[in-house]
Amino acid sequence: MAQQERAVRTRRAVLEAAATVFAEHGYTAATIADILKTAGVTKGALYFHFDSKEALARGVLEIQADGRVPEQEIKLQEVVDVTMTVAHRLVHDPVLRAGARLSADPIGRGHYGSAWPLWVDVLTEIVAESHRRGETLSHVVPREVAELVVSAFNGVQLYAQLETNLADVEHRVSVLMQHLLPSIASPAVLMRLDVAEDRGARLVREAGLVPASA
Amino acid sequence: MAQQERAVRTRRAVLEAAATVFAEHGYTAATIADILKTAGVTKGALYFHFDSKEALARGVLEIQADGRVPEQEIKLQEVVDVTMTVAHRLVHDPVLRAGARLSADPIGRGHYGSAWPLWVDVLTEIVAESHRRGETLSHVVPREVAELVVSAFNGVQLYAQLETNLADVEHRVSVLMQHLLPSIASPAVLMRLDVAEDRGARLVREAGLVPASA
């Protein structure tokens, strides 16, 4: 049992080290040697869990797609909350940054795939439930909205990376959501949504949301 | 004179070849040898105009930022028109695809910069004029809107690349604009905007817009 627990911890440590290296150097330039050095584990321990750089990238993409947010009275608030917590975690958590960088890499993603479909699934489910509850405008198509939010979010975080090294990513994502929501939410729901730029930070702190890498 | 004209044509041919190679392989994997082969010019001719791969990338970014669209009665329509013609040209013009790919490359852009600030300038000017004319909602900040449109557009085209190899990029950009404009345009202006997904194709055809690479 203790052995199994240790294996889980080692696997996690390796994935976090891989995320740090991928986030910093990108997939192509990252080496297993760098990842080993960052993880502080033996080559044997790493290869016990992952047999290639590709497998490491896939493992990072799996653990970063963690869309858990506290349940809210207005379901649509949870769409905002997913985007705002991810924006907040991007600044602090290499696992999220690696997911974003790996997914935007046109060479790498031929090998290991992309985080975007995972996030689209997470958001489609929330928007669909919000739609069933009558919170959205009637023309809303949940998957279309989910794809729009994921793709626009990703453009905004890439831009924030370039302009401010992510320092204002939470502000920019808040602006994005403020512009998208009037064509998604019914007016009565719209005015009750909290899209403040510190929403992600508050949720992570107050609701005790544990980042994927903790 | 004829000689000068030939030099301009050669420079253009080299930049188009570079764009084709950058769009296909990315900055890091692209080689001057590939670009020479695609351009069909001598090494001397290429180096007369560009002394490095970096200079080629900068040249491509300069020529792709071509935001000319026909003047419209409603100025805000021109914002739609820039996004929809770029979406259309992305499918057909490697110069645009190279601009998008080079700008999203976190390693390369440390060397040659990014197309995004150029596009933000193009759009800021149009939104500012639209704002002066009273077409926008009063809270609109032109540069903020321009940055939002450029960054979200870029996320959407990256997503379309991954999902459909750009086959539905015009549809997706049209959906994006339909979702953004209600929080930018005044209602009376909003209902008169044309955001149909074939808007870019029509403009390029009917208005005789010449793509940057022609």
Q: How far is CA A63 from CA A58, A99, B118, in A?
A: 9, 9, 36
Q: How far is CA B70 from the centre of its chain?
A: 16
Q: Which residue of A has its CA nearest to B175?
A: A148
Of A63, A78, A111, the last residue of a domain is A63
Kindly state whether residues A59 and A127 are assigned to the same domain.
Answer: no
Over pLDDT 90: what percentage of chain A? 80
* Yes or no, beta carbons of B104 and A104 under 8 Å apart: yes
Residue A95 domain-assigned (yes or no)? yes
Kindly state whether residues B31 and B121 are assigned to the same domain.
Answer: no
Residue B211 domain-assigned (yes or no)? no
Residue A13 domain-assigned (yes or no)? yes
Of B43, B63, B83, the last residue of a domain is B63
Residue A109 or B140, more confident: B140
Is A76:A89 a contact under the CB 8 Å cutoff? Answer: no
Kindly state whether residues B143 and B86 are assigned to the same domain.
Answer: yes
Residues of B in contact with A116 (CB under 8 A): 159, 162
Please, which pLDDT band fits residue A206 given cuts at 50, 70 and 90? confident
Listed in sequence order, the residues at least 6 apart from B101 whose beta carbon sits closer than 8 Å to its beta carbon are: A106, B22, B23, B26, B27
Token pair of A208 as six digits? 């005790």
* Yes or no, beta carbons of A109 and B150 under 8 Å apart: no
Please, which pLDDT band fits residue A163 given cuts at 50, 70 and 90? confident
Q: Which residue of A has its CA nearest to B104?
A: A158
User: According to the model, what pLDDT value does residue A22 have?
Assistant: 96
* Yes or no, beta carbons of B162 and A28 under 8 Å apart: no
Query: pLDDT digit string (tens) for A9-20?
Result: 999 999 999 999
* Yes or no, beta carbons of B106 and A161 under 8 Å apart: yes
Residue A160 domain-assigned (yes or no)? yes
User: According to the model, what pLDDT value does residue A196 have?
Assistant: 97
Q: Which of A107, A143, A148, A190 best tests the B interface by mutation, with the highest count of B CBs <10 A?
A: A148
Is B116:B154 a contact under the CB 8 Å cutoff? Answer: yes
Kindly state whether residues B97 and B51 are assigned to the same domain.
Answer: no
Residue A103 domain-assigned (yes or no)? yes
* Yes or no, beta carbons of A153 and B155 under 8 Å apart: yes
Residues of B in contact with A158 (CB under 8 A): 104, 151, 154-155, 158
Nearest Cβ partner of B152 from A109, A152, A184? Answer: A152
Residues of B in contact with A154 (CB under 8 A): 155, 158-159
Please, which pLDDT band fits residue A160 given cuts at 50, 70 and 90? very high
Res. A214: pLDDT tops 50: no
Residues of A in contact with B153 (CB under 8 A): 155
Q: What angle do CA A100, A103, A109 make, to 5 degrees?
A: 155
Residue B212 domain-assigned (yes or no)? no
Kindly state whether residues A92 and A195 are assigned to the same domain.
Answer: yes
Kindly state whether residues B39 and B90 are assigned to the same domain.
Answer: no
Is B153:B86 a contact under the CB 8 Å cutoff? Answer: yes
- Tally of domains in chain A: 2
What CATH number corresponds to the domain at position A47?
1.10.10.60
Residues of A in contact with B154 (CB under 8 A): 155, 158-159
What CATH number corresponds to the domain at position B176?
1.10.357.10
Residue A213 domain-assigned (yes or no)? no
What is the pLDDT tens value at each position of chain B, 214 positions in all? 577 888 889 999 999 999 999 999 999 899 999 999 999 999 999 999 999 999 999 999 999 988 889 999 999 999 999 999 999 999 999 999 999 999 988 888 888 988 999 999 999 999 999 999 999 999 999 999 999 999 999 999 999 988 899 999 999 999 999 999 999 999 999 999 999 999 999 999 987 655 544 4
User: According to the model, what pLDDT value does residue A3 have?
Assistant: 80
Kindly state whether residues B149 and B187 are assigned to the same domain.
Answer: yes
Residues of A in contact with B159 (CB under 8 A): 116, 147, 150-151, 154
Is B185:B126 a contact under the CB 8 Å cutoff? Answer: no
Q: How far is CA B60 from CA B12, B17, B56, B143, in A?
A: 9, 10, 6, 24
Of B18, B45, B63, the last residue of a domain is B63
ipTM of the complex: 0.90
Kindly state whether residues B74 and B54 are assigned to the same domain.
Answer: no
Residues of A in contact with B101 (CB under 8 A): 106
Over pLDDT 70: what percentage of chain A? 96
Separation between Cα atoms, residue B152 and residue A185, nearest integer Å? 19
Kindly state whether residues B34 and B18 are assigned to the same domain.
Answer: yes
Res. A1: pLDDT tops 90: no
Q: Would an 8 Å CB–CB cutoff place B154 in contact with chain A?
A: yes
Among the listed residues A146, A98, A99, A100, the one whose alpha carbon sits nearest the alpha carbon of residue A122: A146
User: According to the model, what pLDDT value does residue A6 have?
Assistant: 86
User: According to the model, what pLDDT value does residue B193 have?
Assistant: 98
Kindly state whether residues A53 and A87 are assigned to the same domain.
Answer: no
How many residue pairs bridge chain A and chain B with CB atoms within 8 Å of each other? Answer: 93
- Give me the domain span that covers residue A18: 2-63
Res. A187: pLDDT tops 90: yes
Mean pLDDT value across residues A99-125: 90
Q: Would an 8 Å CB–CB cutoff place B156 in contact with chain A?
A: yes
* Other C-beta atoms lying within 10 Å of the C-beta of residue A207: 13
Kindly state whether residues B187 and B158 are assigned to the same domain.
Answer: yes
* Yes or no, beta carbons of A182 and B182 under 8 Å apart: yes
Mean pLDDT value across residues A83-87: 97
Kindly state whether residues B196 and B135 are assigned to the same domain.
Answer: yes
Give me chain A's average pLDDT, please: 92
Residue A214 domain-assigned (yes or no)? no
User: According to the model, what pLDDT value does residue B210 have?
Assistant: 57
Is A18:A35 a contact under the CB 8 Å cutoff? Answer: yes
* Yes or no, beta carbons of A183 and B183 under 8 Å apart: yes
